[in-house]
Amino acid sequence: MNQSIRLLLADDQALVRGALAALLDLEHDLEVVAQVGRGDEVVAAARAAGAQVALLDVEMPGLDGIGAAAALRAELPGCRSLIVTTFGRPGYLRRALEAGASGFLVKDTPAEQLADAVRRVHAGLRVVDPDLAVATLAVGANPLTAREQDVLRAAADGGTVADIARGTYLSEGTVRNYLSAAIGKTGARTRAEAGRIAAENGWLLR
């Protein structure tokens, strides 16, 4: 029999992390060798434990899972990444693939499929939800410029234009211009709607 596949788990929710470890440890050919709760601890833990596949949640403190996948790609090219996330946002998938991730699963996937996904990723195959792939193609690439994303993110917590201007070191008129551009590009009619649409498409990461 071959050696076990060495896994790293990264998820900020300890309960979910521990439960996934229990689930995966039931498979004789899988072995969870490291668990972390922050994205910026992934590379060091993967290196120390000799992980071959990393299961990465997107929403994590320190560094998001996609950034962690990029860091792994750069520093430990032998360790493949499988993104496991709550939200099947098109922009997440696009950026995950650009970051060199080998797979992308949403958390409402049946639990029985997780181990197989890990094995396929370890074997060098890609694992992507086909529906999400289609949706990602339909949505297209992120139309927002970096600054437009900045002001939308700053507007997300409901501050006034003056607040956003202070937070981004821009003039109020410039903030209004960026918001107007973002509203136009998203097809929205208010800044709040634009922020919601952008967030749903995964355009506000980082």
Partner DNA sequence: GGTCGGCCATGACGGATGTCATGGCCGACC
Partner DNA sequence: GGTCGGCCATGACATCCGTCATGGCCGACC
Residue 108 binds which entry of its own copies, DNA, none, CB below 5-8 Å type-dependent:
its own copies
In the list 42, 148, 202, 204, the residue contacting DNA (rule: CB under 7 A) is 148
State the Cα–Cα distance between residues 189 and 29, nearest whole angstrom: 52
Q: Kindly state whether residue 86 participates in binding its own copies, applying the rule CB under 8 A.
A: yes
Report the alpha-carbon angle 20-202-165, nearest 5.
125
Alpha helices in the chain (DSSP H): 14-25, 42-49, 65-75, 90-98, 112-122, 130-139, 146-155, 161-168, 172-186, 191-200
Is residue 184 a contact residue for DNA (CB under 7 A)? yes
Question: Which C-beta is closer to DNA: that of 4 or that of 177?
Answer: 177
141 binds DNA (CB under 7 A): no
Q: What's the alpha-carbon Rg for the chain, to the nearest Å?
A: 19
Candidates 33, 117, 139, 179; binder of DNA (CB under 7 A) is: 179
CB under 5 to 8 A by kind: which of its own copies, DNA, none does 146 bind? DNA
Q: Nearest distance from residue 192's CB to its own copies, in Å?
A: 3
Q: Considering the rule CB under 7 A, would residue 174 count as an interface residue with DNA?
A: yes
Least Å distance between CB 169 and DNA?
7
Q: Is 28 in the site for its own copies (CB under 8 A)?
A: no
Residue with tokens 């937070």: 167
**Phi, psi torsion values for 72, nearest 5 degrees:** -60, -45
Whose Cβ is closer to DNA: residue 49's or residue 151's? 151
Candidates 4, 18, 100, 147: give the one binding its own copies (CB under 8 A).
18
Residue ranges of alpha helices (H) inside 11-102 are 14-25, 42-49, 65-75, 90-98
